[in-house]
Structure 1
Amino acid sequence: MMRIFLLALTNFAVMTVLFVTMNVLAALFGINMSRGSMTSMLVMAIVFGFGGSFISLLMSKWMAKKSMGVQLIEQPSNNQERWLVETVRRQAEKVGIGMPEVGIFYSPDPNAFATGANKNNALVAVSQGLLQNMTPDEVEAVLGHEIGHIANGDMVTQTLLQGVLNTFVFFFARVIGMLIDGLLRGNNQENNGVGVGYFIGSMIAEILLGFLATIIVMWFSRYREFRADEAGAELAGRQKMIAALRRLQQAHGVHELPGEMAAFGIAGGLGSSFGKLFMTHPPLEERIAALQNAS
């Protein structure tokens, strides 16, 4: 609850700064912007900014199960499934969270992910490729990494961060559109409605601000991978976590998970220098070096 309160407070502060900035710019450029329309736009920005993010969060488990074809282990049918469930149970108890659902999805690539709306109602799933290509020690480290994501509240934090940035982009892009529209009109203020300058300006601004917002979200996604690696090292052992990451390096066929699930997987981190700004995961060599330097 404290995490939600602090980030909600941050969002309020951001909106306050935007509102003040908008009024200052309006005064500087001599553009007439009614407070009522700005208030309505601000409310709309918050609703749209947070609405989609929270709906995605609430549906994340259901979407993951459907999109990845996750088969839940409700009653373990073999030793491997029993070991998986008991390992997750032990790690969850150690970090003080509720027992997550545990599942397996078909993929020849070694991967795993965690998702869920809160710490006590989460899902941890591993691929068949991970179970086939990794040793039990390495799988244990991967599970610790995913439990770390849950314990750190990464899913909720990223959702709130995305909501703040969505709100910023939606609102500020339209403020910029109104400024551009006012500048293009000059002294011609006969028509109180918005003109073509508003639509073109806000569209271009939304694209540019959207790129900046994506860079921030991807930075946080990479940052939380380092924290989850550290959690995996604490729960399973540092050398096991390093060995698991090295195994991923050797798996040349590793691919990120599709769509929104990419940010929640253990694998990832390929790309050009510019592309690194939009990567959900840091390069594996950087993650390994971080664990080695912390030991």
Structure 2
Amino acid sequence: MGNNHIRTFMLIAGLTALFMGIGFMLGGQVGMIVALLFAGVGNFISYWNADKIVLSMYKAKEVDEHHSNRQIAEYARDVKDMAREAGMPIPKITIIDNPQPNAFATGRNPENAAVAATTGLLRMLDRREIRGVMGHELAHVKNRDTLTMTLTATIAGAISALANFALFFGGNDRERSGGLIGTLAIMFLAPMAASLVQMAISRGREYEADKTGAEIAGDPEALASALQKIESFARGEVNVDAERNPATAHMFIINPLNGKGADNLFSTHPATQNRIAALMKLRQQYGRASKPRSETSTGPKRKVDLPAFAKPIEKKDDPWG
């Protein structure tokens, strides 16, 4: 936990320093001070309202196990069960009306966290696979990744906005530090630098969340199967809200913006096949036929459909019309 806090502090400090540097190039010392104040206010607001900010971007609606739709009710019930079994506070459980199969978690700490799944995810995956995905999101909450991910999204978005401001309003100010060259440097390098920080930290945390999430759900194979299906279908559906807020892309279980297939400097997520391979190695620790934790716990037992890992993908009936 201590190392996680140190990494978080270094990340936020680095992005804030970058933000101040842009401010200095745009307005000298005054610009740097304004940028520092802006970053401080942004961090404060994000810290206390992280879940509300991101959930509002995606028009997420809170649901529970009493929902009239069976799939949504099962989804909410399974998230609650896994959180209890992992000894975690139960997060706010939400649904996003979006055809792209995806999910994310947000919030400043486990006591003030939220998880979200798209309607596309519930349509595409079976119950076992949905448990695997939400186990991954609960792992982000348990590992306290959500605060870092949300603060990073906020500052990276602000850096991009500031770069756009420099592009449209800074080019004619020859007296400003850096002049036209400075404006071009801000326009191209600042968003890239912020994105690189996002990407580097996101990939490492995704692998760790895969591992912890498989332990929470008790079923590495289910998460591997889910990732394979999501990767196949996510590229065919445009996530309009994610395109409007690209700084939040690293928060999703699969990159909602593009389908880069390799672990490289410009990928917000690890290659899906690499994640699947790591999960299938972890599967050996659970035996050949891994089962969800709820089937082996001492609590109430519920019937869970366990389809074969390589079962052909079939589109479910659409309960949302």
**Does TM, scored on the shorter chain, surpass 0.5?**
yes
For 2:156 and 2:248, locate their aligned partners in 1 and report how far apart those are by CA, in whole Å: 19
For 2:59 and 2:223, locate their aligned partners in 1 and report how far apart those are by CA, in whole Å: 27
Aligned residue for 1:289?
277
- Measure how far apart 1:238 and its partner are: 0.9
For 1:211 and 1:13, locate their aligned partners in 2 and report how far apart those are by CA, in whole Å: 14
Q: Secondary structure at the match of 2:93?
A: strand
Aligned with 1:247 (options 229, 240, 252): 229
What residue identity is the alignment partner of 1:224?
R
Aligned residue for 1:221?
202
Note the aligned Cα RMSD (angstroms). Answer: 4.2
Unaligned runs of 5+ in 2: 18-27, 161-173, 284-321
For 1:166 and 1:69, locate their aligned partners in 2 and report how far apart those are by CA, in whole Å: 19
Larger Rg: 1
Aligned residue for 1:268?
255
Aligned residue for 2:61?
71
Q: Secondary structure at the match of 1:282?
A: coil
CA gap of 1:273–1:196, structure 2 versus 1, over 3 A, is farther
CA gap of 1:82–1:48, structure 2 versus 1, over 3 A, is same
Q: Structure 1, residues 39-82: CA drift from partner, whole Å, max 9, x if none? A: x7765443333433443454443334433232211561344344
Q: Secondary structure at the match of 1:277?
A: coil
Does structure 2 retain, via aligned residues, the 8 Å contact 1:50–1:160? Answer: no
CA gap of 1:273–1:238, structure 2 versus 1, over 3 A, is closer
What residue identity is the alignment partner of 2:108?
A
Return the TM-score normalized by structure 1.
0.69
For 1:104 and 1:161, locate their aligned partners in 2 and report how far apart those are by CA, in whole Å: 23
What residue identity is the alignment partner of 1:241?
L
Q: Which moved more, 1:196-205 or 1:256-265?
A: 196-205
Return the TM-score normalized by structure 2.
0.64
- Measure how far apart 1:293 and its partner are: 4.0
Q: Which moved more, 1:195-204 or 1:211-220?
A: 195-204
- Measure how far apart 1:146 and its partner are: 0.8
CA gap of 1:244–1:14, structure 2 versus 1, over 3 A, is closer
Aligned residue for 2:98?
107
For 1:113 and 1:253, locate their aligned partners in 2 and report how far apart those are by CA, in whole Å: 19
Q: Structure 1, residues 1-21: CA drift from partner, whole Å, max 9, x if none? A: 9555775478779999xxxxx
Q: Which has the higher helix share?
A: 1
For 2:153 and 2:67, locate their aligned partners in 1 and report how far apart those are by CA, in whole Å: 39
Q: Secondary structure at the match of 1:195?
A: coil
CA gap of 1:242–1:68, structure 2 versus 1, over 3 A, is same
Aligned with 2:148 (options 157, 160, 166): 157
Q: How many residues align?
A: 258
Does structure 2 retain, via aligned residues, the 8 Å contact 1:99–1:121? Answer: no
CA gap of 1:84–1:48, structure 2 versus 1, over 3 A, is same
- Measure how far apart 1:108 and its partner are: 2.2
What residue identity is the alignment partner of 1:285?
Q
Q: Secondary structure at the match of 1:120?
A: helix
